[in-house]
Amino acid sequence: MLRAVKKQFGQHFLADPNILGVIERLAGLGPDDVVLEIGPGEGVLTRYLAERVRHVYAVEIDRQLEPALREIAPNVDVVFGDALQLDLPQDATKLVANLPYNVATPLVVESLDGLPNVGLWCVMVQREVADRFFASPGTKDYGAVSVLVQLAAERTGFHPVSRTVFRPPPNVDSALVAFRRTELPAGYARIKQVVAAAFGHRRKTLPNSLALAGLVSRERAAAALEALGRPAETRAEALAPPEFVALAEELG
């Protein structure tokens, strides 16, 4: 029986098995992988993963999906709860998921440093979110998530996805995006603070944004920008990801 989805959870279940082969290719699935799947829904991807990897952790917020996810395979652990609130498994080596659209961005951002053993992500997200991950400075899609993802990873694959692969079909386009971990820059936690503050007031200059966030004074921020060869009128979207690393270092 087809089950009604819950809008508050951003549920769009996979309904076309052909997309599973694309996920396998982009994720480079292998028998030694330990995969974290967030939002397994009815378990279509979960079952596919279980046949190809060593272990699957499936985290689902909707308790009513328990019958569909019960005893999928001996190498699958299903955990019910909010992935943004749970202590996620630290031994996961890949994050492969059709992410709930309403929490996709924070889940990816928090996993960059919160799950240090994850070396590869292959996630289904809204097309506009996928475009933001690797957007270039100065473009409309470039923002805080672009900086943080690009400081932690490099894109390895991209595949536009039709709305027809989901039940119910979403009102937005989707995409699979894959990216591989690179080395996190030193002081990443501080860099995250600076990036969040810098884009917190996107239309304002960087010194004003950082001051409004209470991070540093406007004068100190302007001096740090000057040390980077940037004028005080610079806005956050003008800085490339490595410049945010340098800015955080200048701010101390």
CB within 8 A of 90, min separation 6: which ones? 115, 116, 117
Strand partners, 95: 36, 121
Looking at residue 11, its pLDDT comes to 54
Q: What span, in angstroms and rounded, lies between the C-alpha atoms of 210 and 197?
A: 5
Structural tokens at position 9: 């959870």
Burial class (CB in 10 A: 0-12, 13-18, 19+), 85: exposed
Domains and CATH numbers, the chain: 7-181 (3.40.50.150), 188-251 (1.10.8.100)
Looking at residue 168, its pLDDT comes to 76
Spacing of C-alpha 36 from chain mean position? 13
**Nearest alpha-carbon partner for 219 in 235, 207, 209:** 207
CB contact at 8 A, 209 and 198: yes
Output the tens digit of pLDDT for each of the chain's 252 residues.
Answer: 334 444 444 456 787 788 999 999 999 999 999 999 999 999 999 999 999 999 999 999 999 999 989 889 999 999 999 999 999 999 999 999 999 888 999 999 999 999 999 999 999 999 999 999 999 999 999 999 999 999 999 999 999 998 888 877 778 889 999 999 999 999 999 999 999 999 999 889 999 999 999 999 999 999 999 999 999 999 999 999 999 999 999 998
Strand partners, 161: 174
Note if the pTM is more than 0.75. yes
